[in-house]
Amino acid sequence: MLVGPLFLFILFTFFIPIGDMLFRSVENSIVTDILPRSTKLLADWDSTTNELPSEAVFAAMVADIKEGRKARTITRVGQRLNYEAPGMSSLFRSSARKTKRMKEGPYKPALIKAHKRWGKVETWKVIKQFIPKYTAGYFLAAVDAKQELNGDIVRLGDEKRIYIDLFWRTLRLSLIITALTLILGFPIAYLMAILPTKSSNLLLIFVLLPFWTSLLVRTTAWIALLQQQGVINELLVFVGLVGTDNRPQMIHNEFGAIVAMTHILLPFMVLPLFSVMKTIPKSYVRAAVSLGAHPWAAFWKVYFPGTIPGIGAGAILVFILAIGYYITPELVGGTTGTFISNRIAHHISSSLNWGLAAALGVILLGIVVALYLLYDKIVGIDNMKLG
């Protein structure tokens, strides 16, 4: 089997990592790993009675915190719980310091004295929520919802909703970019298709050159063009269209992201369109015209339907690429032109909420896989061509 080695390689370097991400988006073992004794006892505690857990649970918690403090893992529990209930991080941090002096029981009053939140049933309910090995909590957070302590799932208040809006924005911007690449790509693909091979090959180079040029080069170029002191603004000031004091803001916003990404993704629209249009015989339109059709009608009724497979292929390709774009929105998008991928990156490298990053990633992956299946249905993966 010649396919074997690559199959194993892709499995290890690519599929297992993606699987790892799926696992992390539901994984919930951090609290039970670091607080093993207390969570074990807490599992038997009946939270509906609204009574604090027994002395044994408090003793186990003190032991867990002491151990966690030594292993320096206790702050991670606090951090994780803090995503669900603000204040938990400081609760664990300050209690960790004070448990040092708790040599013997009874631990219940001692711990409550160390921090009054230990005396509240809600605190224990939050911890109890983390006993199951898997959680839907990250996914709920990714769609701006959360699970209440009584098990109900509620949507967050309007001011706290971020991700649904961000998903909509990502979809909206990707659609705009797809539409723009189609509007700009269709005429030039058509021109290349009707010109003789020699001239169209020359024009093809103009499409392929940006396609082959580093993404960062193209993004840098747009920064140079669009920034406040950039080429386009200088030109506008020079011809007197705008005053030097009110130069339009064209970058680090939605506009900049749309322009730069339309430029970057345009070749991905033109190439499939061109390869489909090349196969439509020019004589069809001529025949229609000679039979008395208006040139417009001939184009619209005879030529255009033939290009639909190319439009479908190009549009889905551009849309898939746009929806997962990271670099360009990060550099030219500012705050209003960011995509969901920027948020994923933020949670991986800045806020370190990896579970939420993984959940957002899984949702994005689901959207892309659905589109990919659609692409396969329309074009077929085997027909994918490059350059």
Options 41-49, 65-73, 94-102, 375-383: segment touching another protein (CB under 8 A): 375-383
Report d(CA 228, CA 231) in Å as an integer: 9
SS (H, E, C) 240-264: CCCCCCCCCCCCCCHHHHHHHHHHH
Query: Rounded to 5, what percent of the chain is helix, strand, coil?
Result: 75, 0, 25
Collapsed DSSP state (helix, strand, coil) of residue 175: helix
* Minimum distance from residue 316 beta carbon to another protein (Å): 11
The site string for another protein over 24-63 (x = CB under 8 A, - otherwise) reads: x---------------------------------------
* Burial class (CB within 10 angstroms; exposed 0-12, middle 13-18, buried 19+) of 338: buried
**Contact residue for another protein among 338, 341, 356, 379 (CB under 8 A):** 341
Binding to another protein by residue 205, rule CB under 8 A? yes
All residues at 6 or more sequence positions from 337 whose CB lies less than 8 Å from its CB, including other chains:
173, 252, 253, 254, 255, 256, 257, 258, 329
Collapsed DSSP state (helix, strand, coil) of residue 11: helix
**Contact residue for another protein among 74, 166, 323, 379 (CB under 8 A):** 323
* Minimum distance from residue 354 beta carbon to another protein (Å): 7
Report d(CA 9, CA 377) in Å as an integer: 27
Report d(CA 51, CA 112) in Å as an integer: 14
**Contact residue for another protein among 29, 90, 94, 197 (CB under 8 A):** 197
Tell me the torsion sign for CA atoms 292, 293, 296, 299: negative
Structure tokens at 230: 């950039």
In the bound state with another protein, the residue whose beta carbon lies nearer, of 17 and 132, is 17
Kind of pairing, strands 153-155 and 145-147?
antiparallel
* Minimum distance from residue 99 beta carbon to another protein (Å): 31
In the bound state with another protein, the residue whose beta carbon lies nearer, of 94 and 197, is 197
Q: Which residues from 228-267 bind another protein, rule CB under 8 A? A: 229-231, 234, 263, 266-267
In the bound state with another protein, the residue whose beta carbon lies nearer, of 125 and 263, is 263
Binding to another protein by residue 135, rule CB under 8 A? no
Binding to another protein by residue 5, rule CB under 8 A? yes
Binding to another protein by residue 134, rule CB under 8 A? no
Options 34-42, 96-104, 301-309, 365-373: segment touching another protein (CB under 8 A): 365-373
Q: Which residue has the tokens 């369109």?
A: 273
Structure tokens at 301: 């009724």
Binding to another protein by residue 123, rule CB under 8 A? no
In the bound state with another protein, the residue whose beta carbon lies nearer, of 9 and 168, is 9
Options 3-11, 51-59, 242-250, 300-308: segment touching another protein (CB under 8 A): 3-11
Options 32-40, 83-91, 116-124, 205-213: segment touching another protein (CB under 8 A): 205-213
* Minimum distance from residue 376 beta carbon to another protein (Å): 7
Structure tokens at 223: 């920064």
**Contact residue for another protein among 327, 334, 346, 378 (CB under 8 A):** 327
Report d(CA 272, CA 77) in Å as an integer: 51
Q: State the number of binding residues for another protein (CB under 8 A).
A: 83
Report d(CA 93, CA 89) in Å as an integer: 6
The site string for another protein over 272-301 (x = CB under 8 A, - otherwise) reads: ------x----------------x------
Report d(CA 25, CA 154) in Å as an integer: 20
Q: Which residues from 79-118 bind another protein, rule CB under 8 A? A: none
Residue 125 pairs in a beta bridge with none
Helix residue ranges per DSSP H, 195-303: 197-212, 215-226, 231-238, 254-277, 283-290, 295-298
Longest dimension (CA), the chain: 102
**Contact residue for another protein among 63, 221, 236, 237 (CB under 8 A):** 221
**Contact residue for another protein among 136, 293, 365, 374 (CB under 8 A):** 365
In the bound state with another protein, the residue whose beta carbon lies nearer, of 63 and 208, is 208
**Contact residue for another protein among 112, 309, 326, 334 (CB under 8 A):** 326
**Contact residue for another protein among 56, 63, 112, 348 (CB under 8 A):** 348
